[in-house]
Every structure is written in C-alpha cells, then in structure tokens.
Amino acid sequence: MAIKVRVPTPLRRFTGGTDEVAAVGESVRAVIEDLEKRHPGMRERLLDDKGELRRFVNIYLNGDDIRFLNQLNSQVKDGDDISIVPAIAGGR
C-alpha cells in the first residue's frame, strides 16, 4: 500500500493528466521527494529554494493542514491521503 496524493489541475501536466498518484515516504517531505522521482518538476512547484513549502501551496494530510501539524516533517503511513491545494487569492 502507498500514500494517495491528490494532484490539482495545474500540476497534472507532471503526472500525465492523472488527478491522483501513489507515493511512498515516512514524512510529507519524503513523499514530495518521491513525487519528484516519479514525476519530475513537482518539487520545484511545491517547495522554494530553501526547501520550504511555497507560500501559495497548501498541503493537507488526511484533511488537516500540515502547517498546523509538523509541517513538512509530518509523519505519514500507508493508506494516508495527501491533497495538494493551490491557494486562491483575490476578491474584494
């Protein structure tokens, strides 16, 4: 079993159009590294030059925002769900 990663529309060009991919790792950061190996270009869209989560990217682990957990060091296990959600700005 693996971790299920839900991919938003803007990143599906890296996954061949697939909206959900499998990945492995013991932390969210390790899952992102595995995504990069399987789907090159993903890490650059998710992490900045310092290796931190980009400001306008939200990642949810089993429905919880990782910013309120242990951020990129949040532990994951087989069967977990990760959702990548680009932040939306605008409005009045």
Contact assessment for residue 87 and residue 57, using Cβ atoms and an 8 Å cutoff: yes
> What predicted TM-score, i.e. pTM, was given to this entire model?
0.91
Question: Which CATH fold topology does 3-86 show?
Answer: Ubiquitin-like (UB roll) (3.10.20)
List, for residues 36-92, the tens digit of each pLDDT value.
Answer: 999 999 999 999 999 999 999 999 999 999 999 999 999 999 999 999 999 876 556
Contact assessment for residue 43 and residue 32, using Cβ atoms and an 8 Å cutoff: yes
DSSP for 39-80, written as a single string:
STTHHHHHB-TTSSBPTTEEEEETTEEGGGTTGGG-B--TT-
Domain boundary assignment for the chain: 3-86
Please report the pLDDT score of residue 87 as a whole number. Answer: 83
